[in-house]
Structure 1
């Protein structure tokens, strides 16, 4: 039996962040697809796992973990990988992880949704002023990331941490905010 079971959707960036952490750490896991189109996130079985009806959900030896940043932080500590070399670096990692969830991910995700709508891939139509607003917020957040990485390879340490994994998965690519 596999220690880790990841519930998620292949269309979910937060699910991808957790799956990437497991893969890069070499931790075997099984994946359970949760189809939002089929309403699987509203079933009593899934509600027992995820009180918010969201993915990802990670089972680690039967214990439930929610929210991608918290899951990735748990995995870094549990697996001893990508957590930062010392307490000061680990604090910086947490700060960048929460900054990603607060300031980077939302505007980048919103820009992505606007683009999908413009291409007819989502049934949404966004007013140009709102699209511009989301784009400006995304560019501002990406410029913060670019500026911090201007003279260094990693956000918090001399090697990669979960903060780097999170920010680089969220953004189109660090050091290239203007390509968005």
Structure 2
């Protein structure tokens, strides 16, 4: 069984949720309210999430954190998207690091800017 803990405002959670949906991987999803102090976030999320951040994927009882590490784990587990061979997995890893450095950082800021106004109020989209 796969359990994904995420937050609808998190682009990193979205990447993992998207992979699970596109791949047709059965999973349970639990929304984590990131406005709560880390110490007030629910169990078992708090105990399993090494940094008490989303996304957290629990697969066969083992927790995985950090979206790109989770994506690599799932590629290997499913034998897809680069997980079929060492060479393809290396290429997949390269693209994920490129995304994190070039696109991911910018996309998170763009998404935040679209969701919140200059005062930090939720824009409701």
TM over 0.5: yes
How far apart are residue 40 of structure 1 and its match? 6.3
CA RMSD of aligned residues (A): 2.2
> 1:35, CA displacement in angstroms?
0.7
Contact preservation (8 Å) 2:11, 2:108: no
CA distance, structure 2, for counterparts of residue 50 and residue 43 of structure 1: 13
Q: State how far apart, in whole Å, the 2-side matches of 1:41 and 1:23 are.
A: 28
Paired residue for 2:75?
76
Distance of 1:74 and 1:28 partners within structure 2: 16
Runs of 5+ consecutive residues of structure 2 not aligned to the other structure = none
Unpaired segments of 5 or more residues in structure 1? 124-180
Distance 1:7 1:92, change over 3 A: same
Deviations 1:47-76 (A, max 9, x none): 311121210000101110000100011011
Greater Rg by CA: 1
Q: Calculate the TM-score normalised by the size of structure 1.
A: 0.58
In the alignment, the residues of structure 1 paired with residue 78 and residue 68 of structure 2 have an alpha-carbon distance, to the nearest angstrom, of 15
The aligned residue for residue 66 of structure 2 is 67
- The residue aligned with 1:36 is 34
Q: Distance in 2 between matches of 1:84 and 1:64?
A: 19
Structure whose residues are more often helix by fraction = 1
User: Is the 8 Å Cα contact of residues 76 and 83 (structure 2) preserved in structure 1?
Assistant: no
CA distance in 2, matches of 1:115, 1:10: 14
TM superposition score normalised by structure 2: 0.80
Offset of residue 43 of structure 1 = 3.0
Distance verdict in 2 for CA 1:116–1:21, change over 3 Å: closer
Deviation per CA, 1:16-71, whole angstroms, max 9, x where unpaired? 1111111111110001110112x164337333111212100001011100001000
SS in 2 for 1:5: strand
